[in-house]
Structure 1
Amino acid sequence: MTNYIQFCSYTLLLILFASACSGDYRKKAIGPVDEVIVVMDSSQWESETADAIRETFGRYIQTVPQPWEPAYTLIFRDFESNQELDELKRFRNIIIAAPLNEQTNTSQLVGGMLGSEVRQRVELGESFAFPLQDRWAREQWTLVLTSTSDERLAEKIRNSSDELLSHLEEREINYRTGEIYRRGEQVALADSLWENHGWSVRMQHDYVQLFDSTQSVMFRRYLPDNNRWMWAWWKDNVEHGDFINPEWINSTRDSLMQFLVQGERDSSYVETDYREAVKTQEFSTGSRLTGYETMGIWRMTNDFMGGPFVHFTYYDPETRRVFMIEYAQFAPRVNKRRFVRQFQAMGRTFASDSTWGKFNPDFAATQ
């Protein structure tokens, strides 16, 4: 992880001329947001480095029902001319990988993109990964991977695989946010949550509210082949968030869903399917809030139903409130990856009113 963090300052030297500004009239990058073009010499497509790239960016997402889908679809490409290289430079997501000082076109490209100081750090083993933003086109992500040998580069990629992948995932989530609300947004509905309950998330254009109580709400976006829903629950007067951990999150979720998300059959309700992977991680909210994201698969008790879920737990120390927001899907004939990324994007739009309750005498008396 240290190597991955170190490269950021050196990358700035490479991309100053391509920094985003109001006068950037270059074309937008092309290609799906879930696809990565891997530029490597064709003789190295079965190398240790290529395998490490597949394991990192092409790994299967285990928090969606089988058949599992890859984090990203990888397309390996080589080039023999400047024209072919210019064609590759048009794509949205690009990885350029090669050991230094090899007699291949890709290695020479990498060497030409790195200054002497950066090359020296690579040779010393101090840096190996260099992300570039909008290098040749707008809305483009490029990652240069290099080291002194195939084996060493593969080892460094594997040792930093989670950090490398998360960097691209965060960019995709930001893209998905714009994609979701570009088609329409229920601003009035989000405003009502803020006004009545002291929190909000941005609401996609066709979610319908099912109920609204003093401590929970639920919305559904129903299509015959793609049923999605979102529920939220919150609690006041929570002194601290030290107790929040994966065990508490999942046990609380399961107890809430017994009455929040019930099935059509008697005594059927949604619960976590612990036979599959359930992953919780804390993430930076960029604010005073502490945020946790939990991903996994739900199942319906007394029925044959299941699907992916993305859950968020937030703690607001200013108002001493804890919040749970969960998105889920039932769509047996639909690929789930895109919708899981949308859930991740929507849940990150959560906001909490820092003034909530401060004009309530009971609240003020406890401060």
Structure 2
Amino acid sequence: MDRTKNKWNFKIQDRIYKSLILVLCFVISSCSKKNDDKESIPIDKINTVSVIIDDQLWNGEVGDSIRNKFASPVLGLPQEEPFFTLNQYPVKLLEGYMANSRNIMVIKKEAKSQFRIEDNEYAKPQIVVHISGRNVQEILDSIQSNDSLITRKIKNGEIKLYQAQLAKDTLQDLQLLNKKFNIRFLLPLKYKLTMKGRRFVWYKKEITSGSLSVLIYQLPLKSINLKTNIANRIIKIRDSMGRKYIHGTEPRTKMVTERAFSPYFSKTTIFGKDAFESKGTWEVTHDNMSGPFVNYAIIDKQNNRILFLEGFCYAPSKPKRDLMFELESMIKSIQFLKKK
């Protein structure tokens, strides 16, 4: 009798155990499916932000502040283009846009004041900024205090995502760059080698009615005195490279920095190294060609050099914000290799 009872108990325990395994597998499968669903959610266009805010706030001071902070003109472009493209939706449509937008700002007037940024809250990849206040002034104060953080967070997220897309492209064989400069970065095969010198290379991609270009060159570290006017020296160096290598279709033409507008200059960090960023417009002397450029002078003390990476575009009939964003994302993917 006891033996029969034990056998019966064992069967019950076995069934319970198997049931638990099935439940666990179902839970894991469901979680996995949710994660897969997040990753498969369609993404917006580059540098686009969905702003979830009621019309009353959007059409008043709060909306003005959001537009001034996040849709101000991009520095260095010949025509005004917004830093981010903002699409406004009322709060009642919140759920529908939470799962289908990559960059979201949710602004509400409610009983509590808060500011927080969530990664992948409803989708992946996604950045959701939550701002709320008990009155308009609290919301304005929160935007004012955190606008730089929000801009940097979204911009870095867009660059990271674009670099991931570039990595899926067919990339260049970078033996030339490795040999000349001991670097590598994400350079699609569509960029063709146009010219090379002893310490200079130029890659160009043809687009409809224009082109995108990447320049890489280096000079000894002593070429720039870091204690004097660095901005002027960098512009003189890029102009000397333009005079030597980059010419228009007509004789005696050369690419130079446009004199009518002073370039924007800032200090930054690239691959852990100090660097100087210059943004402005270029022109070809005695010709009608012009466009924007972004130049990075990277201080590479380990190799006693200054490495210059520049992107510029010629696209007279196109918006240029996202074209320049492509070049910037490529340049910022640079890696310095160890010498063999």
Q: TM tier, shorter chain?
A: 0.7 to 0.9
Counterpart in 2 of 1:300?
284
Q: Letter of the 1:327 partner, please give it.
A: G
Of 37, 56, 62, the residue aligned with 1:26 is 37
Task: Note the alpha carbon deviations across 1:8-41, whole angstroms, 9 max, x for none.
Answer: xxxxxxxxxxxxx998323344322322111112
> Higher mean Cα deviation, 168-177 or 273-282?
273-282
**How does 1:279-298 map onto structure 2 within 5 Å?**
279-287=264-272, 289-298=273-282
TM-score between the two structures when normalised by the length of structure 1: 0.76
Aligned to 2:302, the other structure's residue is in SS state: coil
Aligned to 1:69, the other structure's residue is in SS state: coil
**How does 1:327-338 map onto structure 2 within 5 Å?**
327-338=311-322
Contact residue 98 and residue 150 of structure 1 kept, 8 A: no
> Higher mean Cα deviation, 160-169 or 322-331?
160-169
Q: Which runs of 5+ in 2 are unaligned?
A: 1-31
Indicate the structure (1 or 2) with the bigger Cα radius of gyration.
2
Counterpart in 2 of 1:107?
none
CA distance in 1 between partners of 2:154 and 2:65 (Å) = 16
Of 61, 65, 76, the residue aligned with 1:52 is 65
Contact residue 232 and residue 325 of structure 1 kept, 8 A: yes
**How does 1:120-131 map onto structure 2 within 5 Å?**
122=113, 129-131=115-117
Q: Which runs of 5+ in 1 are unaligned?
A: 1-20, 102-110, 112-121, 123-127, 357-367
Contact residue 47 and residue 150 of structure 1 kept, 8 A: no
Aligned to 2:226, the other structure's residue is in SS state: coil
After superposition, the Cα gap between the structure-2 partners of 1:210 and 1:165, relative to the gap in structure 1 and judged at 3 Å, is: same
**How does 1:1-367 map onto structure 2 within 5 Å?**
24-28=35-39, 29-30=41-42, 31-66=44-79, 68-80=80-92, 84-90=93-99, 91-101=101-111, 122=113, 129-186=115-172, 188=173, 190-236=174-220, 238=222, 242-243=226-227, 245-276=230-261, 278-287=263-272, 289-355=273-339
Aligned to 1:64, the other structure's residue is in SS state: coil
Q: How far 1:254 moved relative to its partner?
A: 1.6
CA distance in 2 between partners of 1:160 and 1:245 (Å) = 30
Contact residue 42 and residue 78 of structure 1 kept, 8 A: yes
Would you tell me which structure has more helix in proportion to its own residues?
Answer: 2
> C-alpha root-mean-square deviation of aligned residues, in Å?
2.6
Contact residue 166 and residue 186 of structure 2 kept, 8 A: no
Contact residue 279 and residue 295 of structure 2 kept, 8 A: yes
Paired residues, what number? 306
Q: Percent identity?
A: 17
Would you tell me which structure has more strand in proportion to its own residues?
Answer: 2
Aligned to 1:59, the other structure's residue is in SS state: coil
Contact residue 214 and residue 327 of structure 2 kept, 8 A: no
Aligned to 1:284, the other structure's residue is in SS state: strand
Task: Note the alpha carbon deviations across 1:42-74, whole angstroms, 9 max, x for none.
Answer: 2211222211111111112242222x2111221
CA distance in 1 between partners of 2:117 and 2:225 (Å) = 35
Extract structure 1 runs of 4+ deviating beyond 6 A: none
Counterpart in 1 of 2:14?
none
After superposition, the Cα gap between the structure-2 partners of 1:22 and 1:234, relative to the gap in structure 1 and judged at 3 Å, is: farther
TM-score between the two structures when normalised by the length of structure 2: 0.81
